[in-house]
Each structure stands twice: as structure tokens, then as C-alpha cells.
A and B are shown apart, each in its own frame.
Chain A
Amino acid sequence: QVTLRESGPALVKPTQTLTLTCNFSGFSLTTPKMCVTWIRQPPGKALEWLARIDWDDDKLYSTALKTRLTISKDTSKNQVVLVMTNLDPADTATYYCARIFSPGSYHIDYWGQGTLVTVSS
């Protein structure tokens, strides 16, 4: 059974750094073609893709946010971490981690429940 669970602070002050952790089970990021990705969704707004890390440690980032994002993995702990710097109230959103295991189309087949992060002083 594949599960993903996001964790991190619920409240962050502007200019601070956000660290989100995705703990997953039911699959391994050492499996060829396996990926974990992060997506966010501001309240009442659309989904926005942030980053992806692949089984071979290839890392992809949103063009708009790449200077502020770092994604990493710890395969021994079944964890993926996303770090976002210089937070702004516009970064207030529900942050999802999700699995991709579909060579070719790279669609998301499993999503976490999401974690709401509010950026406010």
C-alpha cells in the first residue's frame, strides 16, 4: 500500500526558511523510474508544481521558484525534503508530496493528504 505524508510547520514568518518532509511507504526511491514530486495549492486557487526528485537523484524545479527551492532524498529513511527560502505571504498554501512511477508520461499516481503552511508575521 502506497502512502505519502507531509510534515512541517503550520506557521512561518516572512523571510524565514520552510522545510517540508515527505515520509512515504509502499515503494522505494531506489526503484528505477520512481520519482517524488511537490505541488502546492494556495487557498481557493489552482495547483502549482514545485519540484521533482528521481530515483537517480536527478532534480527538476519550477522555473519561477528554482532559486528558492532545494529538494533532496534520504532513501534509507524513505524521505524527501523540500526547502524553500525567503518565504512570503504569497507562499501560503497546502503543500502536497506525491509519487510518480510512470516512465513516459510521468503522471502522479499517489498524493499525500497535504499540509497547510501559513506565512504570516
Chain B
Amino acid sequence: SYELTQPPSVSVSPGQPANLTCSGDKLEDKYVCWYQQKPGQSPVLVMYQDNQRPSGIPERFSGSNSGNTATLTISGTQSMDEADYYCQAWDSRTAIFGGGTQLTVL
């Protein structure tokens, strides 16, 4: 079965860029989206179709997908960006979620 792999945790200093990765076999052949989830809240879509930002999502969020790795980049990370981030893609009529990355801003 298809798997998406994310690092469990990433730490970044305020104002610095954060690169969150998501790896899967030939991932570039699939559309990847990203969800942000803060404690006690439902997930929120922050990126879709690899690099499309939904309305209301700050411009500091960007995405890419090449080879076996998709990346969500947060430029100028802010304390409000501290959250869990999940990548997701579809494979053979099945939705696959990555294990999530806990982003810490300190």
C-alpha cells in the first residue's frame, strides 16, 4: 500500500523559513495537499494541487512537488504557524495521509 512519510517534528526560529517535507514513491505524479491542525481544532487546508493556496491562507505559505518529495514552505515563520501539518494524496481511489509533522516555533 502507498505511504507518505513526514518527519515527526521540525523546529524553527521566528522569522526563519520552515520546510516541511512529505515523501512517497513517485509522488510528483500525484496532487499533494497540506492541512494545518492546531490543538483541539479541526484541520484547515493550507495548500492544494501541490502549490495552490486557498483564499485566506497567507502568502508566506508555498508548496512544491518534485520527484518523490513534496514540500510545504513557510517563509518568515510566525508563532501562529505552530501546529501539526499533514500532507495528503490519493492513490488507487484511496486517500493517504502522512503521519504528520509537529512544527515548533521557538
A sample of 13 cross-chain residue pairs with beta-carbon separation below 8 angstroms, ordered by A number, consists of: A39-B95, A39-B97, A46-B98, A47-B43, A60-B94, A105-B48, A106-B90, A107-B33, A107-B49, A108-B35, A108-B45, A111-B43, A111-B44
B100 contacts which chain A residues (CB < 8 A)? 46-47
CB-defined interface of A45-70 with B at 8 Å, one 1/0 digit per residue?
Answer: 01111001000000010110000000
Query: Contact partner of B97 among A46, A105, A107, CB < 8 A?
Result: A46
Complex interface residues of chain B between 52 and 99 (CB less than 8 A to chain A): 54, 86, 88, 90, 93-99
Work out how many contacts link A and B, with CB atoms closer than 8 A: 60
Partner of B1, one of A46, A63, A105, A107: A63
- Select A63's contact among B48, B94, B98, beta carbons within 8 Å: B94
Residues of B within 8 A of A46 (CB): 86, 97-100
Distance, CA A112 to CA B43, complexed state (A): 9
Chain A residues near B88 (CB-CB < 8 A):
47, 49, 107-108
User: Number of A interface residues, CB 8 Å?
Assistant: 22
How many residues does chain B have at the interface if contact means C-beta atoms less than 8 Å apart? 23
A114 to B100 alpha-carbon distance, docked (Å): 18
Contact partners of A111 in chain B: CB under 8 A: 42-44
Residue in B33, B35, B86, B99 whose CB lies within 8 Å of A105: B33
A43 nearest CB across to chain B (Å) = 12
Q: Which of B1, B94, B96, B100 has the most CB of A within 10 A?
A: B94
Q: Is the CB of B94 within 8 A of A107?
A: no
Asked whether A120 is an interface residue with its Cβ less than 8 Å from the other chain, the reply is no
